[in-house]
Amino acid sequence: MYSTLINADQLKADFDAASWVVFDTRAYLTDFAKGRALYEAGHIPNAHFLDMESVLSGEKSAQVGRHPLPDEQAFISTMAAFGVAPGVQVVVYDDMAGAMAARLWWMLRMAGHEAVAVLNGGLPSWQAEVGELSTEILEPSAATAALAWDARQYLSTAQVLAQLDQLQLVDARSQERFAGDAEPIDPVAGHIPGAVNRPFQANLTEAGLFKTPEVLRREWLALIDATVPVTHMCGSGVTACHNLLAMHHAGLTNTNVYVGSWSEWVRDADRPIALGAE
């Protein structure tokens, strides 16, 4: 079973159409239609496309962040429709070194499906090592999914606010956004007081692959207290999952996600914010 990462050569060698499901989750915050268009132009053979905005996120409102969780039953029904069932190996990929794919990885883990892995290096690694792409869009094979949200794996804004003095918050956004020096997406700059910054790109080598478990463990233990739960956040609850995946790959599993993240936090001007690198 692959439960954190899988390499392109492993996916090529081990894929079994009868018991594996592959998802393409390419997504772009500046062009919501681009991911599907790229999927249709060429994808890993047998992969199905899942849209970040309409499938992996729920209904937007003035009170929630940019990528709230979808309805639980709707998500479970979608997974069942694509054949995700107990014992099925799921592989998720994107073209951003896991920045988008980690969201579905976390959602499936949070729903109780442990046999899910992110393709290390994503589509670029597949193209470099295997090369084969397909434009065929397969009909999914439905199954009965045995999934249920584990509410311990995520926090609401109310929970973060109530526990702010005790939480160990790690923000996956860039240093510039965290410090409040730049904010190209959300209306307010800065970070939640007490949070520390670990841009998700720090989990990667220059080649765009995840660092080894040993290196990741050493780096994360220099930043966090592993005896206390680590709550991951970012701009909208997507790249936060990349940091959580990196910790799990390093054997550090005392983690959860603040799904609303910064984009939900700043919906209310009365919530505290901090500026600067600390």
Q: What are the structure tokens assigned to 10, written together?
A: 């492993």
HEC string of the chain equals CCCCEECHHHHHHHCCCCCEEEEECCCCCCCCCHHHHHHHHCECCCEEECCCCCCCCCCCCCCCCCCCCCCHHHHHHHHHHCCCCCCCEEEEECCCCCCCHHHHHHHHHHCCCCCEEEECCHHHHHHHHCCCCECCCCCCCCCCCCCCCCHHHEECHHHHHHCCCCCEEEECCCHHHHHCCCCCCCCCCCECCCCEECCHHHHECCCCCECCHHHHHHHHHCCCCCCCCEEEECCCCCCHHHHHHHHHHCCCCCEEEECCHHHHHCCCCCCCCECCCC
Residue for token digits 């499906």?
113
What is the amino acid identity at position 59?
A: E
In whole angstroms, give the CA distance from residue 168 to residue 181. 23
Catalytic residue numbers read 234
Judge whether 66 and 77 are in contact, CB under 8 Å: no
Specify the pairing of strand 168-171 against strand 5-6.
unpaired
Q: How far apart are CA 210 and CA 190, in angstroms?
A: 27
